[in-house]
Structure 1
Amino acid sequence: MRRSGKTFILSFVLLALSGPVNAGWREVTNLPAAVSDAVAAAVDGGLYVMSGAPGRGLRQFFEFYDTKNDGWRPLTPMPASVWRFSLATGNGQLFVTGGRDQATGDMSSEVWMYTPQSALWVELPALPQARAGHASVFADGNLYLLGGVGEKSARVLRYVSRLGRWEHVGDPMPETVANAAWTKKGSLLIVAGGVRPDGRDSKIVQAFNVDTLKWSRLASLPQASSGGALGVVEGVLHYAGGFSQSAQKVLARHLSYSGKGWRDLAPMPQGRHQMAYAGSGTQFFIIGGALGGGFYSLFTGSNRAHVFTKETSSDGK
C-alpha cells in the first residue's frame, strides 16, 4: 500500500508539472453561425471573416471580429455567390478573388474590392484565368495570387493597383498546390501543404520572394496535409490543423518553425481544416472550419473560435 501511495503522488506531481493539454490556447466568442469553409484577413484591431458554401440559396457569411472587445459585427454581404475564394487586405481595403460558383461549381475569374469606410463592394478587372483554392497576399502595394486550381495556376499573378491590371510575374510555383495554408513573413509569401495536381496531400513548404520574384524551399511539414492554418507569431511561423488524406483524419496538431525544422507545440483544442485563420504579433486565431473530412466536411462546420497566445504558451520561448 505504501508503494502504491508513492506511485499515486508521483503521478499527480508529474501531471501538475506537465501543464494543461492545450497550453497557450483559449476560446474566444464563438461565431454567430457554423462555417465549414472560411477565410480571414487581419487588420489593426480585428479580423474580417468570410465564408461561402456550395448549394443554392446559401448566404455568404461576412463579419468583423473585434479582437479587443471579443465581439462580432455583421457586414454588407458580397454581391456574388461563390466559395473557395481567397481573401486579402491591403491599403485599407479587402480583395476577394476567384472561387467557385455556389450553384454550378464552375470556377470564377471575378475580383471584388470592399471598402470598410463606405461598406461598399466594387468589381475590379477580372483574373486572366479563373482560379479557385488559391492563396492571396497583399505585399509591396500589390496583390499576389499563388497556386490553386485552374489554367496557368502554377504562374504567380500580380494585380498592380496603380495600373488596374493583372500580370504574370516570376518563376512558376515549384509544386502547384490548392487548399494550402499561407501567410506573409517579411518579403516572403509562404505556402504550406495543400493538394497536389495528382490529388494527394503535400508536405512541402514553398516561399515566394516579392523582391527577387524567385521561389525557395523551407523545411517540409512532418505530415502531409491540406486546409491547415499558417501564421507568424513573434516572428516565428506556426502551422495548425488540416486534413490528412493518408490517415483520413482531421488534425489538431500545432507546429512552430525554428528555421531548421518544425516541432510540436500544444495541439489545438479542436481539430479542424478549411478554417479562417490569422497570425500576427503575439496571437494566432483559428475560427470555424470543418470537423469532418472529405464529403462530410460540408456538413460538419464549427462555430468555435480559439486563439493561441505566445505569452501563455508551454514552449517558454
Structure 2
Amino acid sequence: MQRRLRTIILSTVVLGAWLAAGFALPDTVAAQEWEIVSEMPQARAGAAVVELDGQVWVIGGRGQRERASATVFRYDPLSNHWSGGDEIPQLKEARVNATAAVLGRKIFVIGGRSTQGEVLQTVEVFDPSRNEWIDFPDTKRQREGATAIILGSRLYLIGGSDQGERALETVEFFDVANDRWDEISEWKLDRPRVSSAAAVLDASVYIFGGFNTFGPVGQVQQYNSTSGSVQFSEMRVARGALAAVTMHRSIYVIGGRSKDRVLGTTEIFRPSDAGWTEAPSLNRPRHSFSAVRIDQSIYAFGGIGQDGVPLASVEKLGPISTATDPIALPPDLTLEPGFPNPFAQNTRFRYSVSSQTGRVRIDVLDVTGRNVRSLINDSQAPGTYEISWSGDNDAGAQVADGFYLIRMRQGPFSIIRKAVRVAR
C-alpha cells in the first residue's frame, strides 16, 4: 500500500513542574477523554464526513426540518473555525445517509437517499483544486447507509440498503481500467448489513455491526485482502449506525444504536487477539454520525441523540493533560519546530537555554512515551543551540516511520515538539 502523508499539526505542549514531581509522559499520551469542542453551523445527522489535509468535510445529511441536505461545511480543528455557504460549493443533489472517502486528494460522495425519498446510485466527486463537484460513474446498485473504504489504491463500497429497504451483502469496487463499478464475487458480507462501520488496518478490512432484518448485528467480519481469508469475532454489544476509527494500531468503535437504546460507549478493538478494552464514553450518546481521526485525536460529528433530534455538537477524544497548575515558561527557554518535518534522513531543532534553570536534557520519545534516543544530557550556558536527529535510536538502529515526540527539559520545565519520520 502506498504510504500517504497526512498534514501534521506541530504543537508545543507545556507540561510544567508536575513532570519533575514524577508524572511520566506515557500517562499524558495514554489518558484520554471526550470533550465537546465545537458546534456545527447546523445540526446534522446521516452526514458523510471525511478528512483531507487536516480539514474535516461534513457533507449532506439532514437537519430537524429537512429530509436531505446538499450543504457542505468544512472544519479546521486547529483554529476551531467552520467554513461553508458561498465559500464551498454545495452538492449537486441533496442526500442523507451517503458515504464518503478520499482518494487521490479528491472527495467521493456515494449513494444515500434524496429529498424525494429515492435511494441513489449517483456519485459526486469534489476536486479541491477546481473547487467544484464533478460527475462520476454510477454504482451498480442503489445504496443507502453503505460504508466506503480505501484499500491500497482502490475504492470499495460495502453493504447498505436498496430502495426496498433490503439490507445488502454485496461489495463493489471502482474498476479504474474500465471506468465502472463492479461487484466482488469472492468477497461478500456474511450477512446483509446496513449502517455498519468499517476500518482498515494493514491489509485487512474490519466491518463492525450494522442492522439487518433481525435487528442490530453483533459481529466483526475481517477480510484479509492479501490472502482472501475471512474471519469473525464477536462484539460486546450488537449495534448499528456506529462509527469506527483506526488509531494506535487498534480500532475505536464508538456510539450507535442497540436494540433498545442510543449508545455513548467507546470500545477499543485489538485486531491482534480480537480483544476489547473499554474507553471513555461520549458526553452525548449518538447514532447516525461519523467520526474521523486527526493526528492523535478522534472527532465525532453530529448524529441523532437520545431524544431523536439531530445534534450539532462535535466531540473530541484526545490525550488529556494531568497538569492542573502549569508553570509559565521562562521567555528565554525555547524549542523551535524541527526542519524539515516530516523528514526522511535528518531533522534539525533550534533551542534556547534559559538563564533561570540548570541542566538541559533533550530526548526522542515514541507516542507511548518510551525513550527512543537521548540527544542532549548536559549543563549548557544560556544561549541558542542547534541539534539534529537522524532517525536512529540509542543502539544506532534506524527507527520505524511514524510520529515521535522531541522533549526538551530544563529544571522543572518541559517543551514537546512532534516529528514525523517518513519512508526514504
TM-score, length-normalised on structure 2?
0.62
CA separation in 2, counterparts of 1:306 and 1:152? Answer: 30
Would you say 1:307 and 2:316 are equivalent positions? yes
Q: Do residues 275 (structure 1) and 289 (structure 2) align?
A: yes
1:200 is matched with 215
Per the alignment, do residues 101 and 58 of structure 1 end up closer, same or farther by CA in structure 2, a change over 3 Å counting? Answer: closer
Shift of 1:174: 1.1
User: Which residues of 2 match residues 205-244 of structure 1 at below 5 A?
Assistant: 205-217=220-232, 219-244=233-258
Deviation at 1:303, TM superposition (A): 0.7
- Structure 1 residue 78 corresponds to structure 2 residue 81: no
Cα 1:57/1:136, change in 2 over 3 Å: closer
Q: Is the 8 A contact 2:255 2:262 kept in 1?
A: yes
Q: Tell me which amino acid in the other structure corresponds to 1:48.
A: W
More helix, by proportion: 1
- Please name the residue that 2:77 is paired with: 67
Judged with a 3 Å threshold, the aligned counterparts in structure 2 of structure 1 residues 92 and 34 are, in CA distance, closer, same or farther, namely same
Q: State the alpha-carbon separation in 2 of the partners of residues 304 and 283 from structure 1.
A: 16
Q: 1:31 aligns with which of 33, 37, 40?
A: 40
Q: CA deviation at 1:213?
A: 4.2
Q: What are the residue-to-residue correspondences of 1:117-196 with 2, within 5 Å?
A: 117-150=129-162, 153-169=168-184, 170-196=186-212
1:266 aligns with 2:306: no
Structure 1, unaligned runs of 5 or more: 1-21
Aligned equivalent of 2:113 = 100
Instruction: List per-residue Cα deviations over 1:213-243 (Å, max 9, x = no partner).
Output: 44322x3211111111110122211111111
Deviation at 1:270, TM superposition (A): 0.9
Q: Aligned to 2:283, what secondary structure does the other structure show?
A: coil
Question: Residue 95 of structure 1: CA displacement?
Answer: 0.6
State the distance in 2 between where 1:237 and 1:270 align. 20
Superposed displacement of residue 27, structure 1 = 2.1
**Counterpart of 1:184 in structure 2: which amino acid?**
V
After TM superposition, list the pairs within 5 Å mapping 1:286-297 onto structure 2. 286-292=300-306, 297=308
1-structure distance, mates of 2:228, 2:293: 24
Between the aligned partners of 1:312 and 1:224, the Cα distance in structure 2 is 33
User: Deviation per CA, 1:14-49, whole angstroms, max 9, x where unpaired?
Assistant: xxxxxxxx9522222211111122221122312111
State the match for 2:59 in structure 1: 50
Conserved? CA contact 2:68–2:114, under 8 Å: no
After TM superposition, the score normalised by the length of structure 1 is 0.82
Deviation by residue 1:48-98 (Cα, 9 ceiling, x = unmatched): 111323986853231111122221111211101221111111100011111
Judge conservation of contact 1:99–1:131 (CA < 8 Å) in 2: yes
Identity across the alignment (%): 18
The answer as to whether partners of 1:194 and 1:201 remain within 8 angstroms in 2 is: yes
Question: Alpha-carbon deviation of 1:108?
Answer: 1.1
Amino acid at match of 2:75: Y
Is residue 234–residue 281 contact of structure 1 (8 Å, CA) maintained in 2? no
Amino acid at match of 2:203: S
State the 1:302 CA deviation.
0.8
Q: Distance in 2 between matches of 1:214 and 1:270?
A: 37
CA contact (8 A) 1:82 1:100 kept: yes
CA distance in 1 between counterparts of 2:174 and 2:229 reads 17
Between the two proteins, the alignment pairs up a number of residues equal to 284
CA 1:56–1:227 in structure 2 vs 1: closer, same or farther (change >3 Å)?
closer
How far did residue 280 of structure 1 move? 5.5
Q: Please state how far the C-alpha of 1:106 moved relative to its aligned partner.
A: 2.1
The structural deviation recorded for 1:115 is: 0.6
Q: SS at 1:80's partner residue?
A: coil
Q: Counterpart amino acid of 1:125?
A: P
Q: Distance in 1 between matches of 2:79 and 2:73?
A: 14
User: Which structure 2 segments of 5+ residues have no match?
Assistant: 1-30, 323-367, 370-424
CA distance in 1, matches of 2:67, 2:287: 24
What letter corresponds to residue 240 of structure 2 in structure 1? S
